Structure 1
């Protein structure tokens, strides 16, 4: 299952959990049972909401954990399911669990405290569109030597993706015990080079707590994670997240750093001068609107159709609706592309009929 689908499904669960809590036990049912505990202390979490969700994001059973944190949920038929746990401050989605006909599986489900660093971030259920990796993102690689030992791992993680699409590694947490720490290091290294299309809340870019399960396995193993890494794969361990992100090559990728004609041609934007429009659309990058008409000595460079112009002030002479794309280049990107050490650079591509 792709992370974009699983996160979108998780965001729909909040409304679905209005179902009647608790269901009658069926004698011939396939059942998931267990206990919900706090990750660090292992203290039972009495009253935690639990919901069993099928592969179509439908809640098939729900309940509240007992005073000892225990619960049992019956599935209507055999198959793969996930458990969604609702606790104060957030929601958590388990890796996929296979339920066989007439059998009961019991597991321990650990839930972390919500770190203070997550206070300003939203969970998937709280956003209009969840954060997803930019198409072509390359995931973790299988640590060398571990596949030869037959070592597999399912690693559940959570971290914040900020409003610019950058994973905040200071918030990275592992929610279960890894059989080898090198699996965790591989995930960290992958996140350092991964960029996301940030989450949206209505018309705003927002930070979001992302929860991914990484499934490290051998060829032929069933896929049971948001990000699937298979040893010896010809793609070098490209996970399912990267494959799933390529939804439609014709669809433009909207990120914090690229402003397309779709945004610039909106009725309330298209008649603005480009400088004003950028301040309005990306205040986190360009700051609040300002009336500067003179370029300062240290202002980052601006290029229009590959020709350098007189800084941001010159963009006041361009109408937003005449522009095809504006791209913001971060310091390291600007240095590689333009050979300059500036905080950032800006490139503007005019529509062909306005060039």
Structure 2
């Protein structure tokens, strides 16, 4: 008879039985499979639930099943987590390798923070209105590069590109202004047909869960190439996604109304549901906290982002990722990018006693977040971490 164990959750853990984020993990020398985190352990769902759907290298086979299956599985995992589990189903988080949890289909990044958009506008267009005329009418976004989405912990190679100079003629070389963007990502589970827009009220029928994102940016490359078509090589070299995907149902206590939207959005962007999220982020630079961005101040909701992304009839697929854009607050200590924190390099930030602006080789950035948990306390979203390494 196989041995059984009960997973003990440390007091104050952000990974309790009302959270249960999903991952894809590899025990030493074994194939990848789907797991759920409880405390400091990963539960192997293929073993615990005796279900081959979870003996997969990504979450996609599970995600494509739709919301009824997501809720049924979540309840099965919760029940299993409260009882004794087969010992073979339980692994210490520190003893496994975590993979990219989802095979990414498409990647879209938005620009949904009023505070961030206003700050960037003031820096880039100091003699004009900080917001362009369309910003309050629609969630502005751009298509990123799905193939360079990497899992948390992956080193980020400093990118090369054409760099803006004071002479008006560019030079070429490694970016000197590598930046971060603290964001929240949303993963599509159940896709949609070409030609059929997703309404705001259908958001939870399509989106499986959320994960922290760091959308790395090369500001000097971006400044030169970004006119007139926006982000390209300055963004596409890497986007880091957390290894842990928090189900939407784990965030029911975090849901709050959006800040007021003026003017009132067009009908396809209106939503009676409260899809603002009370999530607090923290940005650490070489172990030093430099910012605490508040997601609650985001102007556009993820439901509005998804509705706008598909209103022209664009389809979605299982594994599509869309992100919020930089999460920033009104104060300097709440800004979600180094561009804002240092005001374009003019106001250095003190990091461990040294004045800094943008990232040097060997610098490491870790983004964490917490949110109100079902039943009280706070859950902890899986971190997103990356280190800059020398250009090749």
TM-score by length of 2: 0.22
- Higher normalized contact order (CA 8 Å, seq sep 6+, divided by chain length): 2
- Please, what TM-score do these two structures have when normalized by structure 1? 0.24
Structure number with bigger Rg: 1
